[in-house]
Amino acid sequence: MTATTDPYMQLLGLKTQLLEPGKAVVAAQVKPEHLNIHGSCHGGFLYSLADAAFALASNSHGTPAVALSTQMQYFKAVRAGEYLEAHASEENLGRRTATYRIEIRSGERVVALFTGTVFRMEASG
Amino acid sequence: MTATTDPYMQLLGLKTQLLEPGKAVVAAQVKPEHLNIHGSCHGGFLYSLADAAFALASNSHGTPAVALSTQMQYFKAVRAGEYLEAHASEENLGRRTATYRIEIRSGERVVALFTGTVFRMEASG
Amino acid sequence: MTATTDPYMQLLGLKTQLLEPGKAVVAAQVKPEHLNIHGSCHGGFLYSLADAAFALASNSHGTPAVALSTQMQYFKAVRAGEYLEAHASEENLGRRTATYRIEIRSGERVVALFTGTVFRMEASG
Amino acid sequence: MTATTDPYMQLLGLKTQLLEPGKAVVAAQVKPEHLNIHGSCHGGFLYSLADAAFALASNSHGTPAVALSTQMQYFKAVRAGEYLEAHASEENLGRRTATYRIEIRSGERVVALFTGTVFRMEASG
């Protein structure tokens, strides 16, 4: 797995900053088109940023991994113009499943926390 | 709360089909720009579709509501061209918090399940 | 899989009321030893009741199933003396994973909601 | 809030090892009555251990806190005789809500991970 971006990341303006086994950092700036009905950053955009880091980190070992179950905790409202980073690290790596923690940070503040579990598919070929 | 769309929904092509107290349906067609590194619909797009229905349903009572905690279960891979609907219903409505269930359906199949809890803010003014 | 109880269910006074493929109902009365520091039913007891129904339902197809990821939403405080039922139903049954919904009811009220995903092991032998 | 145990903790043999603002450690040894139908430690027991640490940590600031939403990820099977510790730390402390991370450890291994969000009630009196 060497891809570091995909069409959905490009649509949202998400950039991969780091990718190594079990780790990934994805970054984005919040633009006006990412806002919700309250005028703050849409929860779906924050999730998508975390989910991109989750996908990269969980596919970083060469075994295709697909998301089974994820959770998101929202801590702080985020405004247009903020620069965000999603930092993914590995909580557990099993043979058939693995779990990742993704912190979304705006500067020093953790604004949201994502936890996700993948199913690891048999290597094909 | 009468808005039925926001900038992020427009960016992703999400359309509100139904909005009534405690309920919402949001729909979208999966386009090439919504795909992930495996060539199937990105988990962040599926979540965003559910989250849009969650936001509309949870803000439908006139009390501003902000997401606290959400969960997503992925059941089936979704391909480009599929037409999806997210159906939000109310699991619990308390004074300060409320919980919603959102099913993402492609035709008859439920492809993902979202559960979300909001904090209901004091009415302003 | 024909067992309908286990040592932990016996410790907590949990009784299996129904078990059929993909479904289970487990019941219990809340006793003084199930209370928390606030004098209401402990969240761990409510979870254990739901988890017992989840384990029975997910193991009901003859394929051993182990829990991967679970979520619990608490809606109402429960008091000593209440009679509770946990109703498990199948949200999704895949080849290697499956997801269940468990409602905890006290009379007509849903007091908590549990969602859980299992990994289904290869049949042995 | 100075209580460090409650009736349910006593029923399960859970002992508070540490309690300070925003932190708690609760420990237990897995006994035969804590096992499930597969002969390993019941998921409800592991959750209850984590939940006890969550309750103590979230009530440690003097403001009564009640659980809204929790998640559990199971990593490793646990056997009878193992000595477990649940370590709770604060992910976020807001005015009306707060989120905690609880690791369940058996020696050096993290066997399960719990994340929980509470609603913080108005101080009484």
Residue A70's pLDDT is what? Answer: 98
Mean of the pLDDT values across residues D46-64? Answer: 97
Cβ-nearest to D71 among A75, A94, A115: A115
What is the distance between the alpha carbons of residues D44 and C49, in angstroms, rounded to a whole number?
Answer: 8
Label residue D124 by pLDDT band (50, 70, 90): very low
What is the distance between the alpha carbons of residues B74 and B117, in angstroms, rounded to a whole number?
Answer: 18
Residue B49's pLDDT is what? Answer: 98
pLDDT tens-digit map of C57-71: 999 999 999 999 999
Q: Do C73 and B110 touch (CB under 8 A)?
A: no
Is B73 among the domain residues? Answer: yes
A90: its two tokens? 């590995």
Q: Do B92 and C71 touch (CB under 8 A)?
A: no
b/e string for A53-75 if b means 16 or more Cβ within 10 A?
bbbbbbbbeebbbbbbbbbbbbb
In chain C, the percentage of residues whose pLDDT exceeds 90 is 92
Among residues A79, A7, A12, which one has the least CA distance to residue A50?
A12
Sign of CA dihedral A89, A91, A92, A96: negative
Residue A3, H or E segment: none
Q: Do D92 and A71 touch (CB under 8 A)?
A: no
What is the distance between the alpha carbons of residues B47 and B45, in angstroms, rounded to a whole number?
Answer: 5
Is B125 among the domain residues? Answer: no
Residue B79 belongs to domain with CATH number: 3.10.129.10
A116: its two tokens? 């996700």
At residue C116, what is the residue type?
G
Closest chain C residue to D43, measured at CA: C51
Is D1 among the domain residues? Answer: no
A114: its two tokens? 């994502």
Give the residues across from C90 on adjacent strands. C100
Interface check C110 vs B, CB under 8 A: yes
Structural domains in chain B (count): 1
Is A125 among the domain residues? Answer: no
Cβ-nearest to A8 among B45, B49, B66: B45
User: To probe the interface with C, which of B54, B70, B73 has the most C CB atoms within 10 Å?
Assistant: B73
Higher pLDDT, D123 or A110: A110
What is the distance between the alpha carbons of residues C64 and B32, in angstroms, rounded to a whole number?
Answer: 39
pLDDT tens-digit map of A21-78: 999 999 999 999 999 988 999 999 999 999 999 999 999 999 999 999 999 999 999 9
Interface check D100 vs C, CB under 8 A: no
Angle, helix B43-58 to helix A43-58, in steps of 10 degrees: 160
User: C102 CA to chain D: closest CA distance, Å?
Assistant: 14
Is D125 among the domain residues? Answer: no
Is A54 among the domain residues? Answer: yes
- Residue D68: its chain B contacts at CB < 8 A? 68-69, 97, 117
User: Is the pLDDT at A1 greater than 80, yes or no?
Assistant: no
User: D5 CA to chain A: closest CA distance, Å?
Assistant: 28
Label residue C125 by pLDDT band (50, 70, 90): very low
Cα-based torsion angle of the residue sequence B75, B77, B82, B88 in order, rounded to the nearest 10 degrees: 30
Question: CA angle D41-D44-D47, nearest 5°?
Answer: 100
**DSSP for residue C79:** -
- Residue D64: its chain C contacts at CB < 8 A? 38
Among residues B41, B8, B5, which one has the least CA distance to residue B24?
B5
Cα-based torsion angle of the residue sequence B38, B43, B49, B55 in order, rounded to the nearest 10 degrees: -170
- Residue C117: its chain A contacts at CB < 8 A? 68-69, 117
User: Is the pLDDT at B12 greater than 50, yes or no?
Assistant: yes
User: Is the pLDDT at D38 greater than 90, yes or no?
Assistant: no
Interface check A115 vs D, CB under 8 A: yes
User: Is the pLDDT at C54 greater than 80, yes or no?
Assistant: yes
Q: Give the Å distances, CA to CA, from B1 to B15, B58, B63, B75, D11.
A: 17, 10, 8, 32, 48
Residue that the structure tokens 């965003």 belong to: B48
Closest chain A residue to D117, measured at CA: A73
Cα-based torsion angle of the residue sequence A39, A42, A45, A46 in order, rounded to the nearest 10 degrees: 100
Cβ-nearest to D73 among A73, A110, A117: A117
Number of neighbouring beta carbons within 10 Å of residue D61: 15
Q: What's chain B's length in residues?
A: 125
User: A95 CA to chain D: closest CA distance, Å?
Assistant: 11
Label residue C123 by pLDDT band (50, 70, 90): low
User: A12 CA to chain C: closest CA distance, Å?
Assistant: 29
Q: Do A69 and C117 touch (CB under 8 A)?
A: yes
User: A97 CA to chain D: closest CA distance, Å?
Assistant: 9
Q: Do D91 and A110 touch (CB under 8 A)?
A: yes
Q: Which residue range is the domain that position A52 belongs to?
A: 7-120
Q: ipTM of this model?
A: 0.95
Label residue A122 by pLDDT band (50, 70, 90): confident
Residue that the structure tokens 């510790």 belong to: D85
Is B51 among the domain residues? Answer: yes
Interface check D92 vs B, CB under 8 A: no
Q: Do B33 and A10 touch (CB under 8 A)?
A: yes
φ, ψ of residue C78 in degrees (nearest 5): -120, 140
In chain C, the percentage of residues whose pLDDT exceeds 70 is 96
Residue D26's pLDDT is what? Answer: 98
